[in-house]
Amino acid sequence: MKNILITGGAGFIGSHVVKRFVNNYPNYNIYNIDNLTYAGNLNNLKDVKDKKNYFFFKVDINNQKEILKLFSDKNITDVIHLAAESHVDKSIESSFEFAKTNVLGTLSLLEASKSLWDLTSNDNIFYHISTDEVYGSLGLDGLFNEFSKYDPNSPYSASKASSDHFVRAYHKTYGLPILISNCSNNYGPHQHFEKLIPNIINSLLKQTNIPIYGDGKNIRDWLYVDDHCDAIELIFNKGKNGETYNIGGDYEISNIDLANLIIKIFDEIKLNTSGTSNKLIEFVSDRPGHDFRYAIDFSKIKKELGWTPKTNFNKGIRETINWYISKK
């Protein structure tokens, strides 16, 4: 019997992962812990809240006493660690909070795992989910792979880079069984409005200005959240102990082109005259240390585990827009 702890399970990606594991593994107990800060929302989990194998605890991962008690009381066998402060803008304003949650919180979980697991067995895994932002910024060419050097430019990416290093250190030093994945930008239903795509859609719904940093030419690689969950599930079940896997969406687009595409689809859905909402775009001062481009080489997970993204971006973004419209 597996007793899987999923951290940050009321958040965007976390809630999708929780639902996936609760529904796909009825014989596993799924323990979701979340501190329910502004981005955590239990409404994301209403479909599984009454399932017999699902349990929720409001816990701060920095509270090591509570974490140790939970590990012990529930005989936690595996961890899927998603809890994190993740908004770059907020990290610029409050870097200490990001270090506290993303670094010290990860250490709290690592210590509990090291203390209570039998590290001579092959019965456990600590799966740490991270970001491609730890690699820094690309120019117009090239892709991040698992051997790319770490070169974080924001307090957020620095905190995630540090947590990645601690997870690897616990594997190398103590023999803790670990997996790490680094993903590109996610999108889909249930994402908080602070992130770029929901922010654009929310601005369209309210008919308020759509802020675009700088000249809008920064490029991101977009990954649909269900495709990310496919990869997470596959890595958890078949990933090799100690390995890192990069997960990309295979769809690069500049921020301004993304905004224009969302506007085009939104106006089509709302039966607006084409271009009606383009006037809402407002170029604003660029974010300090704004990375120019992210793009992922996911050939390792494709070759070793057989994963590729399934969702066509135009289909995924249309479904996402329709979901936010339905929730207005």
Structural domains present in the chain: 3-186+224-250+290-310 (3.40.50.720)
User: Checking DSSP bridges between strand 78-81 and strand 125-131, what pairing results, if any?
Assistant: parallel
Looking at residue 328, its pLDDT comes to 75
123 part of the active site:
no
d(CA 303, CA 249): 16
Long-range contacts of the stretch 93-101 (C-beta < 8 A, 24+): 95/155, 95/158, 95/159, 98/155, 98/156, 98/159, 99/155, 99/159, 99/162, 100/62, 101/61, 101/62, 101/159
146 part of the active site:
no
Angle at 216 between CA 212 and CA 217, to 5 degrees: 160
- pTM for the model stands at 0.96
Looking at residue 257, its pLDDT comes to 98
pLDDT value at 227 more than 90: yes
| CB count in 10 Å sphere of residue 38 | 9
Looking at residue 117, its pLDDT comes to 96
Active-site position among 85, 133, 164, 227: 133
One DSSP character per residue, 107-173 reads HHHHHHHHHHS-TTSSS-EEEEEEEGGGG--B-SS--B-TTPPP---SHHHHHHHHHHHHHHHHHHH
pLDDT value at 92 more than 90: no
Residue type, 239: G
pLDDT value at 182 more than 80: yes
Looking at residue 94, its pLDDT comes to 83
What's the mean pLDDT when you consider all of the chain? 95
Looking at residue 122, its pLDDT comes to 85
- Pick the closest to residue 201 from 328, 311, 92, 98 (CA basis): 328
d(CA 209, CA 35): 32
Q: What are phi and psi of 184, to 5 degrees?
A: -85, -175
B/e letters for 275-304, b = 16+ CB within 10 Å, e = fewer, are eebeebbeeeeeeeeebebbbbbbebbeee
Active-site position among 127, 156, 251, 294: 156
pLDDT digits (tens, 9 = 90+) for 5-64: 999 999 999 999 999 999 999 999 999 999 998 888 999 999 999 999 999 999 999 999
Contact 125, 79 (CB under 8 A): yes
Q: What are phi and psi of 252, to 5 degrees?
A: -100, 140
Work out the pLDDT band at 271, boundaries 50, 70, 90: confident
Check residue 216 and report its DSSP letter: S
Residue type, 139: G
C-alpha dihedral sign at 89, 94, 95, 98: negative
230 part of the active site:
no
Active-site position among 34, 60, 132, 221: 132
Looking at residue 93, its pLDDT comes to 84
Contact 256, 293 (CB under 8 A): no
Residue type, 231: A
pLDDT digits (tens, 9 = 90+) for 98-152: 999 999 999 999 999 999 999 988 899 999 999 999 999 999 999 999 999 999 9
